[in-house]
Amino acid sequence: MVSTALSTELQKCVRCGTCKTLCPTYHLTCNESFGARGRVVLLGELCSDKLAPNKKLAERIYSCMLCEACKGVCPTGINIPEVIYKGRALLKKSFKKGYISKKALRTAITYMNSTMPFARVFQKLFYRPFSRTFGLRYFPEISSKPFNKNIQVYKNVKKTGRIAIFAGCNVNYFYPHLGYSLSHGLLSRGYEVVVFKGEECCGAPLRSMGLEDEASDMARRNLDHFNRVRADAIISLCPTCTLVIREQYPLIVGDTISNIMDLNEFLIKFDFIHDLEAATGIVTYHDPCHLSHGLGIREQPRKILNSIKGLEYREMKHADECCGFAGLFSMQFKEMANTIGMKKIENISNTSADTVVTSCPGCIMQLESLCRKAHLRINIKHMVEVVDEAMHGH
Ligand code: SF4
Ligand code: SF4
């Protein structure tokens, strides 16, 4: 049974096409049904029973990158990414692509701490040795020690303030060194740091699979844990986590973690951008979709990079266009993801920068994978690493 609220929302579409002009999958395919407007119209037909759920319809709705480029542009006020999530929940049984990997991912996310050690063994013995032969996606090694393995409060004699970290799954399991860079930087400016073991996945991958109830359960558990933490701010190193917690939790469970902040927002607001110095080099910046389109954070990262003595900042062309990662999209729509990604690599390469900086561990994973394919030798860094290094003058 389709919700009346969704049906009413979809009926507001006047077919103006504003949303499709910003849609990367429409630009790539030049196919209306693979664009924002087409998806809204198709979901409207589904909700008014003119279309029955089917494989092709599901493919159109699941091929959305959830990049948020179309968010806020609709003159009638439709929140397009949000209706896509709701549409996926209606079509999840019709979308069979990557059935086994989706099942595995769902289990891994739901029981993260107990499944990751097994995933690590599987990755070592089977996935990595055969990934090139079978053209499988590159993944960094799963860490044997997740960042948030234990509850930890790093005390500080200076007591400038108290900051908690929402690390996110990618940092916890693939890039724990980013979490350590963050705590290192905070401690050296006198903050007490809280690393919280009770953290669960923010729920974004579950929502993207159409699993709304499961994502809501995760959200409730995170709210329960984090709203009990006393801190001046809770910093996230992943814009998807920040976006989901700040803007989607209120829609799915009616509450949020009020002081969650993206790293870039934090660094500006808490006056971290002074006395920063790095080894000489040329840097460029890639905007993660959920940071730029989703949270509107575009100026802050540039301001931070430009404040670091020794760095020359070069803007790449189309810096805010997607790198093609988009979570599960890069596994389910490999060709599209690769074409979008290779354009990004070309734009990075044209700057002749020696480092590309971004603010999202998912983008880092995608850029690492693309650079390997394109044989492009360039440093790929998260903003937290660049700032941590610059704080200590190297
Ligand atoms: S979220 Fe991105 S990919 Fe999806 S419809 Fe909107 S612009 Fe297109
Ligand atoms: S911008 Fe809004 S009204 Fe216009 S086509 Fe897109 S969803 Fe419909």
- Asked, for residue 296, whether it belongs to a domain, the answer is yes
Is the alpha carbon torsion for 95, 238, 138, 318 positive or negative? positive
- Asked, for residue 156, whether it belongs to a domain, the answer is no
- pLDDT higher at 308 or 140: 308
Q: What are the φ and ψ backbone dihedral angles of 166, each rounded to 5 degrees?
A: -100, 100
66 Cβ inside 6 Å of ligand 1: yes
CA distances for 257 relative to 185, 254, 270, 312, angstroms: 23, 11, 19, 36
- pLDDT higher at 167 or 394: 167
Mutate to test the pocket of ligand 1, among 66, 85, 328, 336 (most ligand atoms within 8 A of CB): 66
CA of residue 304 relative to chain centroid, distance = 20
- Asked, for residue 323, whether it belongs to a domain, the answer is yes
How far apart, in whole angstroms, are the C-alpha atoms of residue 67 and residue 78? Answer: 16
16 Cβ inside 6 Å of ligand 2: yes
Helix (H) / strand (E) element for 345: namely helix 334-349
Q: At what angle do helices 80-91 and 36-47 cross, to 10 degrees?
A: 50
279 Cβ inside 6 Å of ligand 2: no
Residue 105 pLDDT level (bands cut at 50, 70, 90): confident
37 Cβ inside 6 Å of ligand 2: yes
Ligand nearest to C-alpha 18? 2
Query: In CATH, what number is assigned to the domain containing residue 337?
Result: 3.40.50
pLDDT at 1: 45
Residue 28 pLDDT level (bands cut at 50, 70, 90): very high
What's the mean pLDDT in 123-129? 68
- Asked, for residue 168, whether it belongs to a domain, the answer is no
How far apart, in whole angstroms, are the C-alpha atoms of residue 29 and residue 20? Answer: 12
Atom 8 of ligand 1 has which residue's CA nearest to it?
23
- Asked, for residue 212, whether it belongs to a domain, the answer is no
Ligand nearest to C-alpha 76? 2
Percent of the chain with pLDDT over 70: 94
The full length of the chain comes to 394
Q: Please, which residues bridge with residue 162 across strands? A: 192
- Asked, for residue 225, whether it belongs to a domain, the answer is no
- Asked, for residue 203, whether it belongs to a domain, the answer is no
Over residues 331-354, the pLDDT tens digits come to 889 999 999 999 999 999 999 999
What's the mean pLDDT in 190-205? 91
Highest mean pLDDT, choosing among 106-110, 221-225, 312-316, 368-372: 312-316
Judge contact between 28 and 335, C-beta under 8 A. no
User: From the CB of residue 107, how many other CB atoms can be counted at a distance below 10 Å?
Assistant: 13
Look at residue 131 and tell me whether its pLDDT is greater than 80. no
What is the rounded radius of gyration, in angstroms, for the C-alpha atoms of the chain? 21
Which ligand 1 atom sits nearest the alpha carbon of residue 25? 3
80 Cβ inside 6 Å of ligand 1: yes
Judge contact between 290 and 71, C-beta under 8 A. no
Q: Domain containing 49: what range?
A: 4-94
The domain boundary residue, chosen from 94, 123, 142: 94
Helix (H) / strand (E) element for 278: namely strand 277-285
Q: At what angle do helices 176-188 and 383-391 cross, to 10 degrees?
A: 40
- pLDDT higher at 113 or 183: 183
Residue 128 pLDDT level (bands cut at 50, 70, 90): low
Going by C-alpha positions, the residue among 92, 116, 129 that lies closest to residue 328 is: 92
Distance 363 CA to ligand 1 centre (A): 17
Distance 90 CA to ligand 1 centre (A): 18
The string of DSSP codes covering 10-77 is HHT-----TGGGG-HHHHHH--GGGSHHHHHHHHHHHHTTSS---HHHHHHHHT-----TTTT--TT-
Distance 6 CA to ligand 2 centre (A): 15
Q: What is the pTM of this model?
A: 0.93
Q: Please, which residues bridge with residue 362 across strands? A: none
Average pLDDT, the chain: 91
Over residues 276-293, the pLDDT tens digits come to 999 889 999 999 999 999
Contacting residues for 359 by C-beta, under 8 A, at least 6 apart: 237, 239, 262, 263, 264, 288, 291, 301, 382, 383
Look at residue 3 and tell me whether its pLDDT is greater than 90. no
Ligand nearest to C-alpha 84? 1
Going by C-alpha positions, the residue among 41, 34, 27, 63 that lies closest to residue 326 is: 63
Number of domains in the chain: 2
Residue 117 pLDDT level (bands cut at 50, 70, 90): confident
pLDDT at 119: 74
Look at residue 74 and tell me whether its pLDDT is greater than 50. yes
Ligand nearest to C-alpha 35? 1
63 Cβ inside 6 Å of ligand 1: no
How far apart, in whole angstroms, are the C-alpha atoms of residue 327 and residue 341? Answer: 13
Look at residue 58 and tell me whether its pLDDT is greater than 50. yes
Atom 7 of ligand 1 has which residue's CA nearest to it?
23
Percent of the chain with pLDDT over 90: 76
Going by C-alpha positions, the residue among 152, 156, 199, 201 that lies closest to residue 180 is: 152
Distance 244 CA to ligand 1 centre (A): 16
What's the mean pLDDT in 46-56? 95
The domain boundary residue, chosen from 94, 110, 136: 94
Look at residue 231 and tell me whether its pLDDT is greater than 80. yes
pLDDT at 317: 97
Distance 95 CA to ligand 2 centre (A): 25
- Asked, for residue 128, whether it belongs to a domain, the answer is no
- pLDDT higher at 171 or 134: 171
Atom 1 of ligand 1 has which residue's CA nearest to it?
66
Query: In CATH, what number is assigned to the domain containing residue 22?
Result: 1.10.1060.10
Atom 8 of ligand 2 has which residue's CA nearest to it?
13
Among the listed ranges 57-61, 108-112, 207-211, 335-339, which one has the minimum average pLDDT value?
Answer: 108-112
Over residues 250-262, the pLDDT tens digits come to 999 999 999 999 9
316 Cβ inside 6 Å of ligand 1: no
Look at residue 106 and tell me whether its pLDDT is greater than 80. no
The domain boundary residue, chosen from 94, 124, 159: 94
Q: What are the φ and ψ backbone dihedral angles of 162, each rounded to 5 degrees?
A: -130, 120
Over residues 83-99, the pLDDT tens digits come to 999 999 999 989 877 66
